[in-house]
Amino acid sequence: MSRIGPTLEALRSQQRTALVPFITAGDPQLAVTVPALNALVRGGADLLELGVPFSDPEADGPAIQASSERALANGTGLRDVLKCVTEFRASDDQTPVILMGYLNSVLAMGEGAFAAAAAKAGVDGAIIVNLPPEESKSLRNALAEKDIDLIMLAAPTTSDDRLSAIDRAASGFVYLVSLKGTTGADHISVGEVNQNLARLRGRTRLPILAGFGIKDAATARALGEQADGVVIGAAIVSRMAALRADADAIPEALYRFVHDIRQALDA
Amino acid sequence: MPQPGSNYAQPSPDGHFGQHGGRFVAETLIHALDELEVLYEQARADPEFQAEFAEDLARFVGRPSPLYFARRLTERLGGPQIYLKREDLNHTGAHKINNCVGQALLARRMGKPRVIAETGAGQHGVATATVAARFGLECQVYMGVEDIARQSLNVYRMKLLGASVVPVHSGSKTLKDALNEALRDWVTHVDNTHYIIGTVAGPHPYPTLVRDFQSVIGQEARSQCLQQMGRLPDALVACVGGGSNALGLFHPFIDDEAVRLVGVEAAGLGLETGRHAATLNDGQVGVLHGNKTYLMQDADGQISNTHSISAGLDYPGVGPEHSHLKDIGRAQYDAVTDEEALAAFRLLNQTEGIMPALESSHAVAWVVREASRLGTGQIIVINLSGRGDKDIQTVAELDGTTL
């Protein structure tokens, strides 16, 4: 059974905002990925998003593109990503892990084979950036059979009718894209996100997590007033990139970054 | 156009061509695609829009393009009667302008003041910059830094037309990465921007609307054949990268089942070397750039770097309708190498006084190779999709000549 629902439910009852950091598996090296995940949890992450590197990440901004390219240069494939999850699960059986990537990685393995392998590794959910609800049926069914949530995205441009359709297709939570743009964009408006959150809130019973463009504790805290959680990706990946020559220092740096945001959210 | 009841009335209402096509994009873009789909359906049925389009094709593009009997090439090969559909004579020198005029009219209808495009060889970028100037639209063109280096003339040409050319440094720094970057621009500026995709690929409704705008090629060719030869041709031959010139020629003939449809892909250094762009000959089905289709990819689903001497064919995907036509066997897809294309480039220059684009040279090369297997009574129409002026530098370098 997916850990996502119970985890978000527990946070909601404690009136805490879910903190979801993102890193790309294999960036800057595969050996760093599991220590980094552990450090994020120690720092206060409630759920983890693990990026599956793809050659053509069309929804990502420069930071995550570069991260994907570094991971691919190391030869990181979907099977390596799943191995990281298996390894992480050996010491952490609680924290939900969500894979984030593009559909072609899944199709190349096969939807059924992917669902089986992901379940075996201990994956709880998948976010496929270029898979809108209309095209999602077969993967959704394959994942549902293995109790893995397929998380749907809602955007500022999504009409009210579509929000309802997205709710019907989603499980786990709905990922609200906070701005018109790519990951790591720098034009987030808390007011606009809250308007879209309110619109979405009326159309889904699922928790709503906001992501894209959230780079610091202040923004995370402001969004946490309304959202059930926040996803932080590009800001973390950029910190890892700056330390790539000194990879041993990455877990500690991630711990401190996430810890500060956790404190701001809980204050 | 094939109507319901035709075996080939595609796509389905949700934009699928058999198992291919569809709409695989970030949620942020769905609204814009819905809007484009509705607007296009209205425009397609609106005689006023069709008249505007026809007027610009006639007066701005210079249509109809001739169907030319290549007498000396025919004699040289000693096989079928070879006709060339002269898209190279269009304004800006290629078929790309047909689609750009149509999409610029759509952008104007939507009230979007800004257009963006991706380009590889620069032909689609030039065509987009041209219609942007013609319709008073702001224009930004994305181009990989590798291609900018290879096609400096077209880069400068776009600038002269008032467009800005944005160098793309990510990934393989070629056409596919320019497309990624254009999608990123679009997702960010979707309120005021129309994305003019240059080929019959991308999320629904792009493969359909680009096909429809390019179908003028086949509509003209069909009536020219009837008029000039009194019958339909035996085969149509066109190069396929994304596949817009090929589909534009094929589509009006699709219910004429006796007419053989041949798409010619870029075999680069040879299919066996892996260094090519022959997606329909050697690819697997996957999802890229908003649609499901055959792709050049590795076992992990990473998109491969392709190779072709012709930048316009150097793309790891292909339009989804071509993938469907391959699956159902209505069209056949073959491939010719860089070397064969270059030889055909030279041959057409010397036999007909026509310099084909290296892309179009692939279609000519297939006919050269297959001529002895095609009967002398047969009529073959080659889509001469563009002129080769842009490739002189490339060919000169291969000849060891510095210009």
Contact between chains at B300 and A108 (C-beta distance less than 8 A): yes
Q: Which residue type occupies A205?
A: R
Calpha distance B366→B207 (Å, rounded): 25
Give the minimum alpha-carbon distance from B14 to chain A in angstroms, rounded to a whole number.
9
Calpha distance A114→B49 (Å, rounded): 47
DSSP string, A15-52: T--EEEEEEETTSS-HHHHHHHHHHHHHHT-SSEEEE-
Residue B190: which of A66, A103, A157 has the nearest Cβ? A157
Decide if the complex's ipTM is over 0.90. Answer: yes
The CA angle B366-B368-B373, to the nearest 5 degrees, is: 90
Is A246 a residue of the active site? no
- State the average pLDDT over residues B65-87: 98
Contact between chains at B301 and A106 (C-beta distance less than 8 A): yes
For residue A212, the 8-state DSSP code is S
Residue of A235, A241, A177, A169 lying closest to A204 (CA atoms): A169
Calpha distance A226→A231 (Å, rounded): 14
User: Where do the domains of chain A lie, and which CATH numbers do they carry?
Assistant: 4-266 (3.20.20.70)
Contact between chains at A156 and B286 (C-beta distance less than 8 A): no
Residue of A186, A188, A156 lying closest to B190 (CA atoms): A156
DSSP string, B213-230: HHTHHHHHHHHHHHHHHS
Calpha distance B105→B212 (Å, rounded): 14
Calpha distance A121→A89 (Å, rounded): 8
pTM here is 0.97
- Residue ranges of the alpha helices (H) in B162-285? 175-188, 206-214, 216-229, 244-250, 279-282
- State the average pLDDT over residues B154-179: 94
* Beta strand pairing call for B193-195 and B114-119: parallel
Residue B122, sorted as left (phi over 0), alpha (psi -120 to 50) or beta, turns out to be: left
Distance (Å) of CA B119 to CA B91, B134, B147: 18, 19, 9
Give the minimum alpha-carbon distance from B118 to chain A in angstroms, rounded to a whole number.
13
Calpha distance A13→B146 (Å, rounded): 54
Give the minimum alpha-carbon distance from B174 to chain A in angstroms, rounded to a whole number.
12
B31-48 pLDDT, tens digit per residue, is 999 999 999 999 999 999
Q: Which residues contact B77 (CB under 8 A, 6 or more apart)?
A: B367, B368, B371, B372
Calpha distance A46→A54 (Å, rounded): 25
H/E stretch holding B127 reads helix B123-135
Q: Are A251 and A9 in contact (CB under 8 A)?
A: no
Banded pLDDT at B150 (limits 50, 70, 90): confident
pLDDT at residue B3 greater than cutoff 70: no
β-bridge partners, B356: B387
pLDDT at residue B5 greater than cutoff 80: no
Chain A residues inside the 8 Å CB shell of B30? 132, 155, 157-158, 162
Banded pLDDT at B372 (limits 50, 70, 90): very high
SS3 B117: strand
Residues of chain A that touch chain B, judged by Cβ-Cβ distance less than 8 Å: 54-62, 65-66, 69, 72, 77-79, 102-109, 129-132, 134-135, 152-159, 162, 166, 177, 180-182, 185
Q: Are A142 and A131 in contact (CB under 8 A)?
A: no
B238-281 pLDDT, tens digit per residue, is 999 999 999 999 999 999 999 999 999 999 999 999 999 999 99
Residue B172: the pLDDT is 87
Residue of B252, B190, B230, B221 lying closest to B385 (CA atoms): B221
Beginning with the edge strand found earlier in the chain, give each strand of the sheet holding B16-17 in spatial order.
B16-17, B20-24, B290-295, B284-288
Mean residue pLDDT of chain B comes to 96
Residue A225, sorted as left (phi over 0), alpha (psi -120 to 50) or beta, turns out to be: alpha
Calpha distance A255→A237 (Å, rounded): 13
Calpha distance A187→B266 (Å, rounded): 42
pLDDT at residue B229 greater than cutoff 90: yes
Token digits for B165? 């050319």
B295-312 pLDDT, tens digit per residue, is 999 999 999 999 999 989
Calpha distance B324→B183 (Å, rounded): 24
pLDDT at residue B369 greater than cutoff 90: yes
- A47-56, A224-233, B316-325, B393-402: range with lowest mean pLDDT: B393-402
Taking CB atoms within 8 Å and a gap of at least 24, the contacts of A84-89 are A84/A25, A84/A30, A84/A33, A84/A34, A84/A37, A84/A50, A85/A50, A85/A118, A85/A121, A85/A122, A85/A123, A86/A120, A86/A121, A86/A122, A87/A34, A88/A34, A88/A37, A88/A38, A88/A122, A89/A121, A89/A122
SS3 A101: strand
Return per-residue pLDDT of chain A as tens, 267 residues: 899 999 999 999 999 999 999 999 999 999 999 999 999 999 999 999 999 999 999 999 999 999 999 999 999 999 999 999 999 999 999 999 999 999 999 999 999 999 999 999 999 999 999 999 999 999 999 999 999 999 999 999 999 999 999 999 999 999 999 999 999 998 999 999 999 999 999 999 999 999 999 999 999 999 999 999 999 999 999 999 999 999 999 999 999 999 999 999 998
pLDDT at residue B4 greater than cutoff 90: no
pLDDT > 70 in chain B, percent: 99
Is B118 a residue of the active site? yes
* Beta strand pairing call for A229-232 and A48-51: unpaired
Q: Are A132 and B25 in contact (CB under 8 A)?
A: yes
pLDDT at residue B217 greater than cutoff 70: yes
Calpha distance A47→A150 (Å, rounded): 15
Is B385 a residue of the active site? yes
B97-139 pLDDT, tens digit per residue, is 999 999 999 999 999 999 999 998 899 999 999 999 999 999 9
Residue A178, sorted as left (phi over 0), alpha (psi -120 to 50) or beta, turns out to be: alpha
Calpha distance B342→B356 (Å, rounded): 10
Banded pLDDT at B152 (limits 50, 70, 90): confident
Q: Could you write out the three-class secondary structure of B84-108?
A: EEEHHHCHHHECHHHHHHHHHHHHH
Banded pLDDT at B216 (limits 50, 70, 90): very high
